[in-house]
Amino acid sequence: VQLVESGGGMVQAGDSLRLSCAASGRTFSSYIIGWFRQAPGKEREFVAAASWSGSRTYYADSVKGRFTISRDNAKNTVYLQMNSLKPEDTAVYYCAADSSVAPVVQLASPAYWGQGTQVTVSS
């Protein structure tokens, strides 16, 4: 699976952004897709993930109620809608995929990674 993120940018606190992750591969619908982020000087952290159908979602506490993950398997695309952005959300955001939930949601070790897209939130 190859993953390509887009939609990053520079916004002000309180604004919204929607990130997209376009995947190649005919088996996209069988993968758990997640978003991670890494801020300067910090470790990469889990943000959100969606099950194969998108019916089950997982979120880090820091983004619950503000971020929403969704997927369109017909388009091989996963989205991360980010609302009420804060300066502490500033990071490079990565899309990731694995055939199992644990590597994405619990272990931060999915098999496939995108190259990342920068999100900068100014105060």
Q: What is the pLDDT of residues 35-73, one digit of tens each?
A: 999 999 999 999 999 998 888 999 999 999 999 999 998
Average pLDDT score over residue span 16-28 = 89
Which residues have a Cβ under 8 Å from the Cβ of 51 and sit 6 or more positions away?
32, 57, 101
| Radius of gyration over every alpha carbon of the chain, rounded to an integer in angstroms | 13
Residue with token string 């997982």: 58
pLDDT attached to residue 26: 66
Q: What is the pLDDT of residues 71-89, one digit of tens each?
A: 998 899 999 999 999 999 9
Average pLDDT score over residue span 16-31 = 88
pLDDT attached to residue 54: 86
Report the phi/psi class of residue 76: left, alpha or beta, with left for phi > 0 and alpha for psi in -120 to 50. Answer: left
